[in-house]
């Protein structure tokens, strides 16, 4: 399973493909404190798909590694 996922993510990175369905996020409202009827007492939380989170982490680490090797 890991080899298949690695292959899929490598193809996405190589060709710059980020499928539309992985871009969709659900927005949930999280209650902070105070009056539950006041909309100011809620904050939005974005829930992303697992695959988009994994791809985001991969890209972060690759970009960080590239920048570290280029700067130093």
- At residue 72, the pLDDT reads 63
For residue 19, pLDDT beyond 80: no
> CB under 8 Å to 43, separation ≥6 — which residues?
29, 30, 32
What would the pLDDT profile of 32-55 be if each residue is shown by its tens digit? 999 999 999 999 999 888 888 888
Please choose, from the candidates 3, 16, 27, the residue with its C-alpha nearest in 3D space to the C-alpha of residue 55: 16
pTM of the full predicted structure? 0.59
Spatial separation of the C-alpha atoms in residues 36 and 59, rounded to whole Å: 39
Note whether 48 and 28 are within 8 A (CB): no
Spatial separation of the C-alpha atoms in residues 67 and 18, rounded to whole Å: 22
């Amino acid at each position: 399973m890991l080899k298949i996922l690695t292959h899929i993510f490598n193809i996405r990175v190589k060709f710059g493909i980020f499928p539309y369905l992985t871009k969709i996020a659900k927005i949930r409202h999280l209650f902070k404190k105070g009056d539950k009827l006041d909309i100011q007492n809620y904050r939005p939380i974005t829930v992303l798909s697992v695959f988009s989170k994994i791809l985001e982490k991969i890209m972060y680490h690759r970009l960080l590694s590239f920048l570290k090797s280029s700067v130093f």
